[in-house]
Copies of this chain bind each other. A is one copy, B any other.
């Protein structure tokens, strides 16, 4: 294909010595929704774990663990999520690799993922000890740089909700348009016009109407299904052809 350009000396990549104590951790920001008593719509919540050992002992931190030598990053994130919530994620995507030198007393590079799980799953499953759910918005003073990480993940969630179909990760297989809209309203923290939302949703081509209805206190609402064949873009570079 190409033309050679210039000649000089190439620095040989330095092999890591034994005292290169850089370790790789994987953490996951697990988002879900929870209906708060007074609030007009659900809020974004996530599980945190209390640290039981030295760096930042007693503080809340993202669930995670060391990367096992025999597992991929994705697998490590899934495992983390499984251990923390007992669930498989309905959505899982790499967020960012954090590697500031002073982010931990020892040198740790953290590959952070973010995931979505459905609210009904949260209610149904017993979480391990030392785990509690917090409002993402008001997560502050976490261990390490996890406060920043959570806020960045939250920003990405909101950003992505604008152009992607991730909201389905927070819903069951069948849902009404009002339920879908409520998810977006919860993420974006603002009201959306039901009429316009309906049209946009229908125009997206990703919704399959069923012939079932959600019967409630008023006019029954049609149930839709998400067309998972038309999968969301950017679940990572290796999944689809870009």
A59 to chain B, nearest CB (A): 13
Does A89 touch B at the CB level, under 8 Å?
Answer: no
Contact yes or no, B134 A66, CB < 8 A: no
Q: Which of B11, B73, B109 contacts A128 (CB 8 A)?
A: B11
A16 with B23, Cβ < 8 A, contacts A67-B109, A94-B97, A151-B242 known: yes
| Binary contact track A128-158/B, C-beta < 8 Å → 1, others 0 | 1111111100110000010011011011000
Pairwise interchain contact A1-B135, C-beta atoms closer than 8 A? yes
Question: Chain B residues near A68 (CB, 8 Å)?
Answer: 14, 20
For A236, give its contact among B73, B96, B151, B238 (CB under 8 Å). Answer: B96
Interface segment among A2-10, A178-186, A200-208, A209-217: the answer is A2-10
Hey, which chain B residues are within 8 Å of A97, CB to CB?
73, 94, 97, 111
Chain A contact surface mostly: loop
Interface size counted on chain A using CB atoms at 8 A: 74
Once A13-B66, A66-B15 are accepted as A-B contacts, the answer to whether A71 and B101 lie under 8 Å apart by CB is yes
B100→A131 contact, CB < 8 A = no
* Chain B residues whose CB sits within 8 angstroms of the CB of A196 once the complex forms: none
A155 cross-chain contacts in B, Cβ below 8 A: 237, 242
> Which residue of B99, B152, B154 is within 8 Å of A67 (Cβ)?
B99
A76 to chain B, nearest CB (A): 8
| Least distance between A183 CB and chain B CB atoms (Å) | 20
The CA-CA distance from A151 to B4 in the complex, in Å, is: 21
**Is the C-beta of A232 less than 8 angstroms from some C-beta in chain B?**
no
Contact partners of A42 in chain B: CB under 8 A: none
Chain B proximity mask over A1-38: 1 for CB below 8 Å, otherwise 0:
11111111111111110011111110000000000000
Chain A interface residues (CB < 8 Å from chain B): 1-16, 19-25, 45, 47, 49, 52, 64-74, 83, 94, 96-101, 107, 109, 111, 122, 125-135, 138-139, 145, 148-149, 151-152, 154-155, 236-238, 242
